[in-house]
Every structure is written in structure tokens, then in C-alpha cells.
Amino acid sequence: MTERAIVQSAQQGNTEAFRMLFEQNRKRIFSLAYQYTKNKEDAEDILQETFIKTYNYLDKYKIENETNFSSWIYRIGINCSIDYLRKKKNKKEDFSDWDKWEKTIGSNHSNPEHTIGLEQLREKINHLVEGLSPRQRMVFILKHYQQFSIKEIAEYLDCSEGSVKKQLFRAVSAIRSPLKKYLWENDYGMQKI
């Protein structure tokens, strides 16, 4: 059964078809949400909110006029992630779980000083990413963690490529400046951001 047929069946009220759409897209949405929040429970909340909105607006998805369904639902996931962050910031909750997600970088190096340096650098980057605006954070994550192209990000965020480039430039600038003293290209073999 094609995605198009599954979507049509779900739009007609077939709950099994909607479950199939959920199964086909849940890992991507969860991964996006987790990279955005670095917290499993928050990512699960975003995943749930994404599929609630998808279910509620499924009749508005027009197969003939829209991009493919997985792109449409991914865009909903992006918006839910941004909205979730805004709500959390308004509640002044802490996003200190960012660094729990990437504990493996450098863990297989035999040089403990190198590993400690990488962990400190990772913590600094995570802290700086937390301080970005929701839009800048999302663009940065989509580009540098999800490896999307500028064009793909513009599609998902429903904005121009120029807007994406501007937000990405601002995000990278906000991260790069404080990191200058932490980036030792010879020690880490890193390229400048």
C-alpha cells in the first residue's frame, strides 16, 4: 500500500491506516524532538503533540497539492518542537539535559586529557545552543545535527532559503564567538564552525 493510499484511508477514518502513518514517521519525529530538547520525556511529549495535531488536521492535508505526507508531518513536528520550547522557557524550566545525549564523543580515545577537553567543548556548545532563539536553534539542529540542506530546511519551516541562511548565520555567529578560546584545531582536528 502506498503512502498516498494510506493517507486517503486514514482521512476516511481508518484508524489502522493512521496507526501505519504513525509507525512510518514516529522515529523521525522523535529523533527531531530529542535533538531539539535532549530529553526523552520532552521528546515523547512533542511526538504525542505532533500526532494529535496531525490527526486533528488530517482532513486539511491535500494529497494533490501538498508535498509528500512525511514532509508535511515533519513540518508539524518542527512547529511542535518550537512551541514546546517556548512554553518551557515561559515556565523558566531548565534544559540541562542537553549534554546527557552526546556522552559518547571522544569516549574511545585513550588520552584522558583529550576526552576531558572534548567533553568540556561539547558542554560549552550545548550551553550556547540552549541560548539560541527557538527558530535559530531549530535551524542549527536541522543543519548540523540532522544534516538537512538549506533548501530542505526552508521547505520544512515554510520560509525562504534566505531566511534560513540568515537564521543559521546568526546561530553560528552566536556560538562561534564564545568558542574561539575552546577551538584548538591542532588538538582536536576540528574545522571552524
Instruction: Delimit the CATH 1.10.1740.10 region(s) of the chain.
Output: 3-90
pLDDT of 25: 93
For 118-129, write each residue's pLDDT tens digit. 677 777 777 888
Instruction: Delimit the CATH 1.10.10.10 region(s) of the chain.
Output: 102-188
How would you class 173 by CB atoms within 10 Å of its CB: exposed for 0-12, middle for 13-18, buried for 19 or more?
exposed
Give me the CATH code for the 3-90 domain, please.
1.10.1740.10
Question: SS3 for 146?
Answer: coil
pLDDT of 113: 57
Q: How far apart are CA 193 and CA 183, in angstroms?
A: 10
Kindly indicate whether the domain formed by 102-188 is annotated with CATH number 1.10.10.10: yes
For 59-113, write each residue's pLDDT tens digit. 888 877 656 888 889 989 999 998 887 777 655 433 333 333 344 444 444 555 5
For 102-118, write each residue's pLDDT tens digit. 444 444 445 555 556 66
- Global pTM reads 0.60
